[in-house]
Amino acid sequence: MRQLIFFLFGVLLLVACSENSEQMSVPQSLSVKEKNNQKENTTTQTKEIAPKSKVVPTIKKPQKEKKAAPKQKKKPKPKIQQADIEEEIVDLTEEAIHYIPNEIPESEYPYYFSAKEGYLSDGFDFPVGKPDAVGYYKSQNFGDRLHLGEDWNGNRGGNTDFGDPVYASANGLVTFVQDVCCGWGNTIRIIHYVGEDSEQPYVESLYSHLHTMHVDVGQLVKRGQQIGTIGTAEGRYVAHLHFEMRDFINMSIGPGYSDDQQGYLDPTPYIKQHRPLQ
């Protein structure tokens, strides 16, 4: 009996131990795997975090976007430019090349300039937003699409500059005030005496597409004096000033656009190089 009791007790003990060992061994093995996995995860996570932390500088992108934001404000301008450019080219290249000279011949200029003191040129200013074109931009530069002048538009775009004042770029003699055909519209030409020492004693400025004209042929004008207002050449264009400068005076009014720039000056560089002494 004792042997049987010991045997049965032994069997129960073995069964109990085997159950416990199974219960214990499984979680233990799992926990080790989990720990290993966790280690692996933590190592891989740290490895992944590292590149992420390198990616973090992409936060700079918004900064670039911030920089780009003010540029967007300038973007609407080209749309206005296109409207000006296309319309002006169509009209001026059709049939505007007529010989329409200045109304006062060069031989008479000394007579006018000697009649009154204080009208010889003492420097040049911009013809809009005087003296520095504040509030205006060029929708077309000299040379753009063979353009022989500059197109000045108000910063607010469209026809917002319609009726704005146009000023004489320098002291001078008004030699032409006419409503010219074929895309020009109301146009004023002014002769400026820039000195006997210079290679060319006279240069000329031309203001076109004007809405109104406030001066007469033969009138002496001062730099910054209002001579007219910005117009549309009677609805042909979005309002702007077509402004030319020439060192060959008394040429025909011209085509407005040409690959032959002889006799024409690039206005803005010329004005910047000949600002009045303060």
Among the residue ranges 7-15, 114-122, 219-227, 238-246, the one whose residues contact Zn ion (CB under 5 A): 238-246
* Residue 24 bridge partners (DSSP): none
Pick the closer one to Zn ion by CB: 140 or 175: 140
Cα separations (Å) of 127 from 60, 212, 227, 236, 255? 43, 15, 10, 21, 21
**Phi, psi (degrees; rounded to nearest 5) at 246:** -135, 140
Instruction: Kindly indicate which of the ranges 51-59, 146-154, 166-174, 182-190 contains the residues binding Zn ion, using the contact rule CB under 5 A.
Output: 146-154
CA-CA distance, 256 to 26, in Å (whole number)?
A: 94
Kindly indicate which of the ranges 50-58, 147-155, 213-221, 247-255 contains the residues binding Zn ion, using the contact rule CB under 5 A: 147-155
Q: Which residue's beta carbon is nearest to the bound Zn ion?
A: 242
130 sits near Zn ion (criterion: CB under 5 A): no
Q: Which of 242, 245, 253, 271 binds Zn ion (CB under 5 A)?
A: 242
151 lines the binding site for Zn ion (CB under 5 A): yes
Q: 253: which residues sit within 8 A by CB, 6+ positions away? A: 96, 98, 100, 176, 180, 184, 187, 189, 206
Sequence length of the chain is: 278
| Residue closer to Zn ion, measured from CB, 130 or 242 | 242
DSSP state of 47: H
| Residue 85 CB, nearest approach to Zn ion (Å) | 8
- Distance in Å, CB of 173 to Zn ion, minimum: 24
Residue 209 touching Zn ion (CB under 5 A): no
91 binds Zn ion (CB under 5 A): no
Tell me if 244 contacts Zn ion by CB under 5 A. no
Angle at 226 between CA 225 and CA 228, to 5 degrees: 150
How near is the Cβ of 218 to Zn ion at its closest, in Å?
Answer: 27
Give 37's contacts (C-beta < 8 A, 6+ positions apart): none
SS3 166: strand
Does 223 sit near Zn ion (CB under 5 A)? no
164 binds Zn ion (CB under 5 A): no
Of the pair 122, 144, the CB lying nearest Zn ion is at: 144
Q: Where are the beta strands (DSSP E) in 53-154?
A: 136-140, 150-154
**In whole angstroms, how close is the CB of 216 to Zn ion at the nearest point?**
25
Residues in contact with Zn ion by CB under 5 A are 151, 242
